[in-house]
Chains A and B, each alone.
Chain A
Amino acid sequence: MTIEKLSIIGIGEVPTRIMPERSRWDIIYDVCIEAVRDSGLDKNDIEGVISVAPQAQNQLSAEISFGKIPEELGLKGCRDVCICNAGGASTSNCLRLAEQWITSGVAKTVLIPHVTVHSTIPMDDLINFFALAGMDMQWEYPFGTTYNGVIAMGTRRYMYESKVTPEEMAAVVVSLRKWASLDPNSMFYQKPAPTVEAVLSSPLVSDPLHRREGNILADGGSAMVVTSSELAPQITKTPVYKLGEGAVYWGASPVLRDTKENKIQAKEAAKAAFDQAGITKEDIDIWNIYLAYPVGHPQIMEWLEVCEKGQAGKMFLEGHTWPGGKLPWSPIGDAVGRGHTGSGVSTATYVETARQLMGKAGERQVENAKYVFQNTSGGSGMNFIATIWGRELS
């Protein structure tokens, strides 16, 4: 018996920008319709809608949870609707649930949309949300922890252990922004990437993290249409297949996470994904890494042995990860280069994985891309999900 695999057959996206003039539903309409049209299906062929939970947007979250999208869009063939929340790992779970719906016969085709509009959330709500998300209310938050602070501590420890230099850390931002400047969906499209010196001369927010090493909250949305590997080639000429997956849970509270253990577990998760896909890391054409801050990029590169030990910083500094380099890395520029859309950065990262494998990535297209490695993570780094995608069933 062949094991059924998931296939992405359509993608849609609105550019990430600060656009308070666009309502959330305005964006939902556009990304969903674009994704369905891209797949070649009729709207009434969509049998399920599994949405990425929008963070810090309670009303929208309630509307989507309780079934508004299929009704709003007139998806007459829809059989069920649901929302998944695992922070930045939400999209991974939407895809997994879609797999289950497809293999169990609940739905043959599923629409997976995301939208976030940060710019109209009252500042107090926004600050509160990000102050509390992924921190412990008893053991961390009373000391004044922030996302920046927690990442800064992790960055300092990583630099201490690995001897990665501030210049090499800044070069991660340069690399991400090189891709972003070629990406019409990035808020930094056509804007020149900053130099290492410009990154390091931006103000320190939380040492050793500079302002340009952080994320800008932005608005955006994207969507995918998925189906089974059996049906995909009958619907589209450019199906993209999920070939393997592995995952590990690291823990909710940053203070309790142990990087030495995390490293071993990340390797195991990636190995599970590669084993399932039946390929090796040498086969990967694009490392589509989602982490939302610079530090994880060299860290993951070393953990997964994509480069030689101690060489990760140099890979970014010497431009190997840039567009045209030998190791294409995060071609939407991750959250740092894209603008941070809450849980939507990982949705956009999956959309880019599909876009590259469909051969639709324009100036960022990695020539003849056959296999993509993509990771996601939720909260302040509670888990590590590794997936392998390909344009052919392996």
Chain B
Amino acid sequence: MNQTYQKPIPEMQPWSKEYWKGTKQHKLLIQTCNECGAKIFYPRKFCPECWSKDLGWIEAKGTARVYSFTITRDMVEPKFMPDLPYVLAMVDLDEGIRMMTRIVECDHDKIRIGMDVEVVFEDISDDCALPMFRPIRSSQD
């Protein structure tokens, strides 16, 4: 854990704590509805499809494809400035959900839409880690 983490920490809700607990164990969880079978992102108190309260979790494989991305170079809040340039991205998980993330551990010029990526966790507090994604080696070549 990084005691000096200055950037924003996710503002959790009671029903999303399980998700963030998973990230601490470096597991990417997906909320599911036991009644209608929906895979839910982001986690909700009730299923957004059928309003069931019978919700559970599955562990994602952790692999995804880049839907879109941007290399952020300027005009960010001071707390994000030390990170510049950083790559914001939306990725599509194999399980069919799309999430916001960053692409890390790679040459920015090689990132492409459709590139295969895998989850890697950045521990930021006692309660959570941020799921980032890095190219799967074969896809970067």
Contact = CB atoms under 8 A, between A and B. Distances in A.
Contacts of B8: 137, 141-142
A324 to B, nearest CB: 34
B139 interface: no
A255 B131 CA distance: 15
B77 interface: yes
B72 A156 contact: no
B10 A138 contact: yes
Interface stretch (B29-37, B52-60, B85-93): B85-93
B42 A143 contact: no
A157 interface: yes
Interface residues of A, number: 35
Contacts of A33: none
A160 B113 contact: yes
Q: DSSP class of B's interface residues: helix, strand, loop or mixed?
A: mixed
A157 B8 CA distance: 27
B74 to A, nearest CB: 5
Given A139-B100, A143-B88, A255-B99, A205 B9 contact: no
Given A153-B89, A160-B113, A205-B74, A142 B7 contact: yes
A32 interface: no
B84 to A, nearest CB: 9
Nearest to B11: A137
Contacts of A154: 68
Contacts of A157: 67-68, 113
B95 interface: no
A229 B68 CA distance: 47
Nearest to A151: B70
Contacts of B11: 137-138
A255 B70 contact: no
B70 A206 contact: yes
A192 B97 CA distance: 46
B17 to A, nearest CB: 11
Interface residues on chain B, size class: 35 or more
A156 B10 contact: no
Contact of A149 (B12, B72, B124): B72
Contacts of B83: 144
B42 A204 contact: no
Interface in A109-160: 127-128, 131, 136-146, 148-149, 152-154, 156-157, 160
Interface string B90-125: 100000001111100000000001000000000010
A160 B113 CA distance: 8
Interface in A194-220: 203-209, 211, 214
Contacts of A152: 70, 72, 88
Contacts of B77: 127-128, 131
B74 A203 contact: yes
Counting chain A CB atoms within 10 Å of each CB, the highest count among B12, B16, B74, B83 belongs to: B74
Contacts of A160: 68, 113
A3 interface: no
B75 A205 contact: yes
Contacts of A205: 73-75
B128 to A, nearest CB: 9
Shortest Cβ-Cβ A-B pairs, 4 listed: A152-B70, A157-B68, A153-B68, A255-B100
